[in-house]
Amino acid sequence: MDCGTFKNKISQSVGSLFLDVDEKIHLEQCDQCRNFYEEYVSLEKELNGLTIEPLSAVEFASMQQKLDENINRYNRRAISFYNLFTRYGAGLVAVGFLFFVSLWSGFEYGVYYSEHDIQSETYYLADYGDESSDEDETINDEYIELLLYDYTQNNGYNSGDLLLGDLTQDEFDFLENNLDLGDIL
Amino acid sequence: MDIDNRELVARAKDGDRQAFDKLVKENKDKMFALTLRMTGDREAALDLTQDSFLTAYKEIGSFRGEAGFSSWLYRIASNKALNYLKRKKILSFIPLTEKTSDSVSYEMPEYVDGELLNKELALAVNSLPPKQKLVFNLRFYEQLPFGEIAAILNKSESTVKTNYQKAIEKLRKKLEGFR
């Protein structure tokens, strides 16, 4: 038996240590291991002397009371959540359903009309005024450039289709006469 | 886990408060001893024990019964004790109050025996790093096998053994220096 194995066995043991014959012989022959063993036994004895005062009945009663309060509070919360859900669950499901329906209705040809469209319109109206008042607006290259910029910035992919759908006849005529639509859109 | 205990756990899982209370009574001393030895503070130990049982009550539905109920409780209490020590260590870096130069950052458990050697040894146990201290307490005082401690701490058995040996070595040196 080597000293390392013996010391490992000792330092991992707790309580009464069982030594087999080989270990007993080693202990008698090896001074270093004997010292280690004696020190360990002494340490164990000292550590066993470090007793703590156990939980008293009064302390337990106070702890139990606090535990009961916390458990009751937890149960009340769980029950109230359950009640809330059963009472308003149907309403919540209906609201959720309506929300999804409203989202779904925003899809057309695979393009999602998000708030960008609204923003686009807002910018457009802010920049160029209401369509009904566009009669005085001169349609020129700058006008078209701004219009295209607005649509591509706010709608990204498929902005061409959107633009074509929204153009007034005057705007369309201008584009047809002045620009190569294939290159732009 | 014995049959009675298993039955109690099953009943507690079904929401039987009396069964749960019985489990609390059966395990309170072990959990309190562990948390007290870990924190060295009786009030904190009471709070941690209470909090461990509250967590057990909330989470008992997830207890699968692969390990013993007390092992599962030890796991909860160990995590709470380690978190407490971590929080306390962090707070000790925040200068809320002025400290005297010779004050220690941990408290001494109220050991019954007040001899000098015992005090030194208690100080040495308290100054062990939290994880070593936990392994040491679970092995030495709670007398749990290394395999169970490894399962409680979710570590390998060899890691747990190494932690324990390191703790013992530190305490042995402390005792050696005192003599």
- Interface confidence, given as ipTM, is 0.82
Q: Does the pLDDT of residue A17 top 50, yes or no? A: yes
Q: Contact at 8 Å (CB) between B123 and B154?
A: no
Question: What pLDDT score does A15 carry?
Answer: 72
Rounded distance between C-alpha atoms, residue B56 and residue A31, angstroms: 50
Question: What pLDDT score does B111 carry?
Answer: 53
Q: How many CB atoms lie within 10 A of CB B60?
A: 18
Q: Does domain B111-179 have CATH number 1.10.10.10?
A: yes
Rounded distance between C-alpha atoms, residue B75 and residue A167, angstroms: 69
Q: Which residues contact A135 (CB under 8 A, 6 or more apart)?
A: none
Residue in the block written with tokens 């309506």? A98
Q: Contact at 8 Å (CB) between B84 and B130?
A: no
Write the pLDDT tens digit of every residue in B80-119.
999 999 988 877 776 655 444 444 444 555 554 456 777 8
Tally C-beta pairs within 8 A across A and B: 85
Rounded distance between C-alpha atoms, residue B31 and residue B141, angstroms: 12
Question: What pLDDT score does B6 carry?
Answer: 86
Nearest-neighbour CA in chain A from B95: distance (Å):
31
Rounded distance between C-alpha atoms, residue B47 and residue A20, angstroms: 45
- Mutation target to probe the B interface, by most B beta carbons within 10 A, among A35, A50, A65, A77 is A50
Q: Which residues contact B11 (CB under 8 A, 6 or more apart)?
A: B18, B19
Domain with CATH 1.10.10.10 in chain B: 111-179
Q: Chain A contact for B49, CB < 8 A? A: yes
Q: What is the DSSP letter of A110?
A: T
Report the topology of domain B1-95: Rna Polymerase Sigma Factor; Chain: A (1.10.1740)
Rounded distance between C-alpha atoms, residue A138 and residue A142, angstroms: 10
In single-letter form, the type of residue at position A102 comes to: S
> With helix as H, strand as E and coil as C, how does B126-175 read?
HCCCHHHHHHHHHHHHCCCCHHHHHHHHCCCHHHHHHHHHHHHHHHHHHH
Split at pLDDT 50, 70, 90, the class of B160 is very high
User: Which of A12, A54, A71 is nearest residue B54 as measured by Cβ atoms?
Assistant: A71
- Percentage of chain B modeled with pLDDT above 90: 64
Count of residues in chain B: 179
Q: Which two tokens stand for residue B9?
A: 């756990």
Nearest-neighbour CA in chain A from B29: distance (Å):
6
Question: What pLDDT score does B102 carry?
Answer: 44
Question: What pLDDT score does B178 carry?
Answer: 65
Question: What pLDDT score does B106 carry?
Answer: 46
Question: What pLDDT score does A106 carry?
Answer: 63
Q: Where are the alpha helices (DSSP H) in A105-139?
A: 115-128
Would the CB atoms of A8 and B117 count as touching at under 8 Å? no
Question: What pLDDT score does A137 carry?
Answer: 64
> What is the DSSP code string of B9-60?
HHHHHTT-HHHHHHHHHHHHHHHHHHHHHHH--HHHHHHHHHHHHHHHHHHG
Residue in the block written with tokens 């002045």? A178
Average pLDDT rounded to a whole number, residues B151-157: 94
Question: What pLDDT score does B10 carry?
Answer: 93
Specify which of A40-49, A127-136, B55-64 reaches the highest per-range mean pLDDT.
Answer: B55-64
Q: Does the pLDDT of residue A175 top 60, yes or no? A: yes
Question: What pLDDT score does B41 carry?
Answer: 93
Q: Where are the alpha helices (DSSP H) in A105-155?
A: 115-128, 141-155
Domain with CATH 1.10.1740.10 in chain B: 1-95
Q: What is the mean pLDDT of chain B?
A: 86
Would the CB atoms of A12 and B112 count as touching at under 8 Å? no
Question: What pLDDT score does A20 carry?
Answer: 83
Write the pLDDT tens digit of every residue in A83-129.
777 777 778 888 888 888 887 776 555 455 554 454 445 455 555 55
Split at pLDDT 50, 70, 90, the class of A143 is confident
User: Which of B32, B139, B171 is nearest residue A14 as measured by Cβ atoms?
Assistant: B139
Q: Contact at 8 Å (CB) between B109 and A52?
A: yes
Write the pLDDT tens digit of every residue in A25-78.
888 889 998 888 888 888 888 888 888 999 999 999 999 999 999 999 998 887
Q: Does the pLDDT of residue B16 top 70, yes or no? A: yes
Q: Contact at 8 Å (CB) between B33 and B142?
A: yes
Q: Contact at 8 Å (CB) between A10 and A37?
A: yes
Q: Does the pLDDT of residue A148 top 50, yes or no? A: yes
Higher pLDDT pick, A112 / A176:
A176
Question: What pLDDT score does B99 carry?
Answer: 47
Q: What is the mean pLDDT of chain A?
A: 76
Rounded distance between C-alpha atoms, residue B30 and residue B38, angstroms: 12
